[in-house]
């Protein structure tokens, strides 16, 4: 299972989030068609831009609880001071990708960023 975990500022457009996901996929030489899901912290899972990005990428959208994100905190490669201050977890993008990728999930590398969004790609065995 290939998952794009995303973090973004409120009111970020679907196109900006899609651009971050495509940038990350390109860095890791993955075709967008191989992507299974896009994931983020559940408090932002209903943001219109994220819903639009999932539609543009033709993938399911999954929200992750803070408890789920905290459970994989030791596996993230980078830390966001903003995520740590506001959510109490070191990463939204990397952690949500790991959570949704499931068993034996691993990040392909550190998150990438655009002006308003970050994206990390994880591969795992699914739920």
SS3 77: coil
Question: Rg (Cα) of the chain, in Å, rounded?
Answer: 12
Residues β-bridged to residue 39: 5, 62
Q: What is the pTM of this model?
A: 0.94
* pLDDT over 90 (residue 88): no
Q: Phi/psi of residue 11, each to 5°?
A: 65, 20
The answer to whether 124 and 117 have CB atoms below 8 angstroms apart is no
Specify the higher pLDDT residue, 127 or 57.
57
Domain containing 101 equals: 2-123
What local confidence, expressed as pLDDT, does residue 125 receive? 95
* pLDDT over 90 (residue 87): no
- CATH code for position 112: 3.30.420.180
Residues 46-75 have a mean pLDDT of 96
Domains in the chain, number: 1
Q: Which helix (H) or strand (E) holds 2?
A: strand 2-8
């Amino acid at each position: 299972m290939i998952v794009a975990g995303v973090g973004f500022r409120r009111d970020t457009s679907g196109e900006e989030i899609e651009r971050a996901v495509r940038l990350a996929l390109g860095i890791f030489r993955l075709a967008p068609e191989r992507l299974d899901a896009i994931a983020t912290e559940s408090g932002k899972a209903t943001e219109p831009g994220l819903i639009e990005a999932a539609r543009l990428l033709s993938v399911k959208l999954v929200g992750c609880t803070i408890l789920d994100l905290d459970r994989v905190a030791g596996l993230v490669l980078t830390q966001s001071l903003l995520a740590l201050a506001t959510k109490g977890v070191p990463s939204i993008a990397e952690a949500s990708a790991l959570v949704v990728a499931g068993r034996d999930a691993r990040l392909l590398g550190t998150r990438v960023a655009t002006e308003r969004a970050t994206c990390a790609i994880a591969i795992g065995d699914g739920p």
